[in-house]
Amino acid sequence: MHPKIGQLVENIEKVIIGKHEVIVKMVCAMLAGGHVLIEDVPGVGKTLLAQTLAKSVSGTFGRIQFTPDLMPSDVVGYTVIDMNGHSEYRAGAAMCNFLLADEINRTSPKVQSALLEAMEELQISVDGVTHKLPVPFMTLATQNPIETYGTYHLPEAQLDRFIMRLSIGYPDRAAEKRMLEKMPQSIEVSSVMTLEEVMELRAEAGKISVSDGVKTYILQIVGATRNRQEIKLGASPRGTIALFRASQAMALINGRDFVTPDDVKAVAREVLSHRIILAAGQSVFMDSVSVIDKILGETTVPV
């Protein structure tokens, strides 16, 4: 593993115990310049993971609890007029490096869409004035897939903005025992990387070479999602680009300057599973992750 990235992962693992693979994928998404949707049951450490990542790279952290009465101005900010008639911008929760959008599916589509410009353009527009967001900017949205009463389904256009969908899952017994042992002491998270170093690593990831064979492999995997009877809607070209960028970031994490098919396989599930819609009746027998696994198993790996 890349020494600097390895140090970052180890730092996060001091707090998030027994979830090495999830942490690596989260760091991969950050280095690919994308946003992450964390979909899991309550109490498994979604918020803590987001906070620890922000602290580990010296980033500013913003958290907003998405509720039905939330307004777009709470997210993007608003303009006030003072006594002299001068307008002044008051920043919303999105004006930070790492934004935790907690339970994003509990707020109205109007508020959800307020995040779209921030996630895609890295800027927000308020009363006709554009404000640039800090760099880097990463949205970490969470949602509970079990309790759907009173929620608003995230539209496909918004799901497509997330480079990865992650699930933390329950810890194994040994990891949970270590949690109990560490619980009495509050663990102080130290910074092991600066935001400038994060941007340098992003630039480095973007220069990782990808051979024509691996590019074809990526195109075959994404193309397969558009030509299967069990899939109603396949991955978009944005999904192809996301898989390409995530594969480059994974190669960097693994300490290489070129992408291998294994790098593509390592991130394909998380990058593509939320971008496809299964045909009617298919979800009873298989979920989107197992469909992606099936596609990976059937696609010829380039030598």
Residue 281's domain spans which residues? 207-298
Residue 54 inside a domain? The answer is yes
Residue 119 inside a domain? The answer is yes
As averages over each run of 10 residues, the pLDDT of the chain (303 residues) reads: 93 91 96 93 85 94 89 89 83 92 86 84 86 93 73 79 92 87 72 95 96 96 92 92 97 96 96 89 71 93 86
Helix (H) or strand (E) holding 233: strand 231-233
The confidence score (pLDDT) of residue 284 equals 53
The confidence score (pLDDT) of residue 186 equals 65
What does the alpha-carbon distance between residue 211 and residue 224 come to, in Å, rounded to a whole number? 20
163 and 283 share a domain?
A: no
Total domain count for the chain? Answer: 2
Neighbours of 71 (CB within 10 A): 14
The confidence score (pLDDT) of residue 181 equals 81
The confidence score (pLDDT) of residue 196 equals 96
216 and 165 share a domain?
A: no
Task: From residue 289, give the alpha-carbon distance in Å to each of 84, 105, 188, 207, 228.
Answer: 58, 21, 36, 29, 14
Sign of CA dihedral 124, 125, 127, 131: positive
CATH of the domain at 60: 3.40.50.300
Which amino acid, 82?
A: D
- If we measure between CA atoms, which residue out of 135, 128, 139, 34 comes closest to residue 94? 139
